[in-house]
Every structure is written in structure tokens, then in C-alpha cells.
Amino acid sequence: MYLPMLMLHDKYVNHLDIIDKIKESVGGYQAYVAAGWVVATILSNPIFEEFKCFPILFVHGKRESGKSTFMRWIMNFFGIETEGIGLAETSQNFIARALSYYSSLGVWFDEYRNEPKVTAKDGFFRSAYNRQYAGKGTTTAFQTRGFDVSGTIAISGEELPRDNGLFTRCVILQMSAYKRSREHYDWLNQNSHTFSGLTYYVIMEWFYDDRKVQMVIKNIKDLKAVLIKKGISDRTAENWAICAGAFDAVIKQDDDFIRWVEKACQEIKLSSEQEHMLNQFWEDLGYLISKNELNSKHFYVGRDPKYGIDSDLLYIWFPAVYTEWALHYRKKTGREPFNKVSILKNIREEPYFVDNNALKRFGNDVRKALVINLSEATDEIREIAENFAEVAGN
């Protein structure tokens, strides 16, 4: 493992002009968020002391979307000219060393994919988010070697993490080839060696001034509170507030940017909900029905006055449905499916849940059924029920 080779530009530069040129090049406020992440990284020790976490910058997009170029520019703010560290070929021990040696600097990992060689490191990244100690056994009995996590993490790739724990620890920035502009492309590449003037500025003007550091932390707290009031989860609000609040305090106050951050958080909230285990479960059931692997032997639509519900109910022979779904999930993902008890527990907490011990006839057999109130159900569940409504009416 090599030590980072810094080439810090020790002169003040017009960092806002640089950041705005990057913003125009990528076509959005992603540049402001990433610049805020850079500033927060330089101040990561006091920020972590306050919040006990530090967000992972996750840049994703299709091939040729510009994510690698964007990340090279961002890393130049630290005075580091580098390509991302390939995740598939990198060991957890290497990652641990990098995050230890790159003290208060960003470390860029590239080519994230949802495949076993890469996702095996998800747990380590989740721990590094909280700067938890990373240890590894040695060949000598009863001894370990370990590395303190002091650097911060940036990841890029075409795929977003399927692991919800990692996903919620990330600030997600999407790159799009359709929004890119090449007007400043050559200028940015030719002058990237000066970008670390931003780090020079933050160190000289902010790093050693506790009053200013506390101003940044207060700004982060205030923005987090605003986002939470808008219905954003605590963790997502904190992650985005650290990046956007640092930018707002140190670089530029921009009301349009803060409104964009709120909108981005709302989109992340929706995306996170869509990735939730229940959404995956119901979407997969719709697919299995379309392939006739699940049918009227498993579902029934009807009414029952004993529940006092004046709308159709969906009855599901849950044990059999779960078994078919689990086989499909293993084949599709190569991973173990969500636990049956966990899925049922989550369903019980939904407003559409009615009963999970009802007796209902499916074909020639009476089975114990899960009952769903379709008037309260999601679109995915209603689409499932539509496949069996006509059967019930005949």
C-alpha cells in the first residue's frame, strides 16, 4: 500500500469559478454537493466528533456519462491525481489501509457492481461510515492488526448498491451524458493541478479557526433540521446536510441550491422506499404471475362482511407464495432471500394489512391466508389482484 502523493497548490484560486465550471460541465448542482463533500472532508474530524458519521459520496451513471472524469476533477481538489481504486480486485485489507493513510482526505473506489466480489465489501463501507475500527487477524496466534478509519469514501459505478444499509449511508449523485457540456472541458483538464487551492483555502482560513468550524457545524445542524421537517429521514438529512451545509457555509450561499438539495433528498426517499424489501417482494410476485408460476391456486379476490370493509380483499396463500418467490429471488440475485418472518412482519405494519390467519378456499383446498385490503393497497398489489378479480366474479 502506497502513501498518497499530494501535489497541493499552495496559492489561493478562484475556487467558486472552478466549481461553477464543473457545474456547467456536468449540468447540475452535483458539483456543489461534491465540493461541499471536499470541504467537509478537510473538516471531517470535528464534523465526525459532532455527528458520529461521515457520508459516502456515491457517483453513478451509465457508461460514458462522465462520472470518472467528474471524480478525477473532485480528487484534484485534494491535490491527488488518480484513477479510482477498482473494487473487484481490491481486498478489504487494502481498503482499510487506504482509509487509514489518507487522513482527512477522500479515497475514491471505482467500478461498484452488485456482484459478490464487490458486495463482500459492503459491510466494511457501512462500518467505515461510522469510523468503526477495522481489524484483521494475523498468522500469529492471539494477535490482530488494525487500522483507524480517518479518510472519507467516494464510490463510483454504473449500479447503485442493493444493500439498503450502504445505500442509506450514501449521498447519491447521478451523472447524465445528456446534460453534459464540453465548453469548459479542456480548461478544467488543463487547470486541474490548481484545484487544490480550495484545500489550501479551507486549511488556511477555516481549519485552524474553531469559531469558523463551529459555524460550519451549526449550518449543517440547521439544514438537517429543515430537511427533517420536510419528511426526510434523519440519516439522509444528516448525510446531505453535511455536504450541502459545508458548501453553504464555506463556498457560497445559494437558495436555489438548497431547494435542489431538498428535491434530491425527496427523490432519494422515494428511491429508497422502492428498494425496500416489500416493494421487491410485490414486484417479483407480479412477474411470477405474468409467467404463470403463481396463479389462482395462490390468490383469491373477494369480500367478507366480518371485517367490516366495504371493498375487495386479496387473499394470499402466503407460505406457498413465499416458497416460489424465494426460489425466484435466489435465481435472480444469487443471494439468500429476505426471511419469511421479516416480510410478514413488515406487511403487518402496512395500512393494507387485515389478517394473516384467515381460512380461504384456493381451488379444492382450504388454506390459511394472508388478507389485504385493496382500498389501502399499493399500485403493485392492486395490479396483482386484477389478475384474479375476473376469476372471483365468475
Domain-by-domain residue ranges, the chain?
Answer: 15-273, 277-393
Q: Name residues whose C-beta falls within 8 Å of residue 132's C-beta, 6 or more positions apart in sequence.
A: 149
pLDDT in tens, 280-318: 899 899 999 999 999 999 999 999 999 999 999 999 999
For residue 273, count CB atoms less than 10 angstroms from its CB and return exposed for 0-12, middle for 13-18, buried for 19 or more: exposed
CA gyration radius, the chain: 25
pTM (predicted TM-score): 0.71
Packing angle, helices 277-290 and 340-348, rounded to 10: 110
Give pLDDT tens digits for 123-149.
889 989 998 754 443 343 333 355 688
Residue 93 has pLDDT above 90, yes or no: no
- Are the C-beta atoms of 40 and 242 separated by less than 8 Å? yes
Q: Right CATH number for 15-273 from 1.10.357, 1.10.3470, 3.30.420, 3.40.50?
A: 3.40.50
In angstroms, rounded to a whole number, what is the distance separating the alpha carbons of residues 170 and 157?
A: 13
- State the pLDDT confidence band at 394, using cuts at 50, 70 and 90: very low
